């Protein structure tokens, strides 16, 4: 389950790197539409109205991109054997880097069923993104994963700087780990999020990369917070946190590259505020 989740999410993020529909120049406002949403005028209108009402941005001045099922399916068959239907690509995102103070994410909670605003923020910070305002919605209920992939690509397009692939891979692995823990142990998202944040703070503070030490930190936090997860979950969580720690150098390099564009906010130290809070599952709309 974990490997399949990682592979699928990696495919989605990878597919987002294919240039479809963006202009040749960087733009501080970028919108990513799910294929299903873009193809349905009513769906697109719902999404655009949310973006207009929440962001007060002139959508005509924004770059836009379509995430297609075909892009994912060209490579998914050889890795997982899965094929996505074009009716599953729903959630959409707007990234506004003109608002380049502290990172903010506004999620349409009536439509996005899985990924919360805090989860998006955590993921973006782990990728070295600390500024901008992100808006996420869908015309109908969806997990928010297409929007997640779109956000990452939108920052790349807006800044003209590519997020390192190993950072994305670490992010994807952490996403699937949290999803697996929630599915296996029945831990609610808030409790798991707090556990992960506490662990990451300790690991980041002391720059811990030793697996056994990370396991001990997790076990202590689990006991102190009366959270019931399996030994396997602890091991998986330790592996993913260790992986994120190991890509700190590339994260810091990326943050340095985008610091001027994003008002200098990206130069603060790397944070393990990342990614473990993304996804519960991917079943309905991606």
DSSP letter string, 104-159? EEEE-TTTB-S--HHHHHHHHHHTT--B-EEEEE-SS-B-SHHHHHHHHHHHHHHH
Q: Please indicate, yes or no, if residue 94 is contained in any of the structural domains.
A: yes
Q: Tell me which of 66-70, 110-114, 235-239 is least confident.
A: 66-70
Q: Strand, helix or coil at 97?
A: coil
Between 7 and 143, name the one with better pLDDT.
143
Q: Which domain holds residue 209?
A: 165-267
pLDDT for the residue numbered 8: 42
**pTM for this prediction:** 0.70
**Residue ending a domain, choose from 111, 130, 159:** 159
Contacts of 102 (CB under 8 A, 6+ apart): 130, 131, 265
Helix (H) or strand (E) holding 216: helix 211-224
Among 5-9, 75-79, 110-114, the range with the most confident prediction by mean pLDDT is: 110-114
Residue 216 CB neighbours (<10 A): 14
pLDDT band at 43 (very low <50, low <70, confident <90, very high): very high
Helix (H) or strand (E) holding 281: none
Query: Cα 46 to chain center, whole Å?
Result: 23
Q: Please indicate, yes or no, if residue 278 is contained in any of the structural domains.
A: no
Strand partners, 110: none
d(CA 104, CA 134): 6
Both structure tokens of 241: 């946190």
Q: Please indicate, yes or no, if residue 214 is contained in any of the structural domains.
A: yes
Same domain, 135 and 171: no
Among 105-114, 158-167, 260-269, the range with the most confident prediction by mean pLDDT is: 105-114
Q: pLDDT tens, 193-219?
A: 778 878 888 998 888 989 999 999 999
Q: Percentage of residues in the chain with pLDDT exceeding 70?
A: 72
Q: pLDDT tens, 117-162?
A: 777 777 777 778 888 999 999 999 987 766 777 787 788 888 888 8
pLDDT for the residue numbered 251: 84
Q: Taking all residues of the chain, what is their mean pLDDT, rounded to a whole number?
A: 75
pLDDT for the residue numbered 180: 74
Q: Please indicate, yes or no, if residue 274 is contained in any of the structural domains.
A: no
Confidence check: pLDDT of 163 > 60: yes
Same domain, 154 and 169: no
Q: Summarize the confidence of residues 12-38 as an average pLDDT.
A: 61
Same domain, 24 and 132: yes
Q: Strand, helix or coil at 223?
A: helix
Q: Please indicate, yes or no, if residue 129 is contained in any of the structural domains.
A: yes
Q: pLDDT tens, 222-280?
A: 999 889 999 999 999 999 889 888 888 888 888 888 876 665 443 333 333 333 343 33
Same domain, 145 and 7: yes
Same domain, 37 and 118: yes
Residue 16 CB neighbours (<10 A): 25
Q: Number of structural domains, the chain?
A: 2
């Amino acid at each position: 389950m974990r490997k399949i989740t990682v592979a699928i999410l990696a495919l989605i993020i990878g597919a987002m790197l294919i240039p479809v529909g963006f202009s040749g120049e960087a733009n501080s406002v970028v919108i990513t539409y799910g294929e299903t949403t873009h193809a349905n005028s009513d769906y697109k209108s719902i999404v655009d109205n949310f973006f207009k009402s929440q962001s007060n941005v002139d959508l005509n001045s924004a770059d836009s991109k379509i995430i297609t099922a075909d892009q994912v399916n060209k490579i998914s068959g050889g890795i997982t054997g899965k094929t996505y239907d074009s009716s599953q690509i729903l959630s959409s995102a707007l990234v506004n880097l003109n608002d380049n103070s502290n990172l903010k994410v506004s999620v349409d909670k009536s439509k996005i069923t899985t990924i919360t605003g805090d989860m998006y923020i955590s993921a973006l910070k782990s990728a070295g993104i600390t500024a901008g305002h992100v808006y996420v919605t869908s015309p109908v209920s969806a997990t928010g994963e297409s929007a997640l992939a779109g956000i990452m690509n939108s920052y790349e397009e807006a800044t003209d700087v590519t997020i390192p692939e190993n950072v994305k891979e670490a992010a994807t692995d952490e996403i699937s780990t949290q999803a697996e823990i929630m599915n296996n142990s029945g831990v609610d998202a808030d409790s798991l999020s707090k556990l992960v944040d506490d662990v990451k703070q300790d690991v980041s503070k002391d720059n811990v990369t030793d697996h056994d030490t990370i396991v001990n930190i997790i076990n202590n936090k689990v006991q102190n917070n009366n959270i019931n997860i399996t030994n396997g979950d602890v091991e998986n969580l330790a592996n993913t946190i260790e992986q994120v720690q190991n890509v700190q150098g590339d994260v810091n390099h990326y943050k340095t590259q985008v610091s001027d564009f994003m008002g200098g906010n990206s130069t603060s130290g790397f944070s393990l505020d990342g990614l473990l809070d993304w996804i519960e599952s991917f079943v309905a709309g991606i």
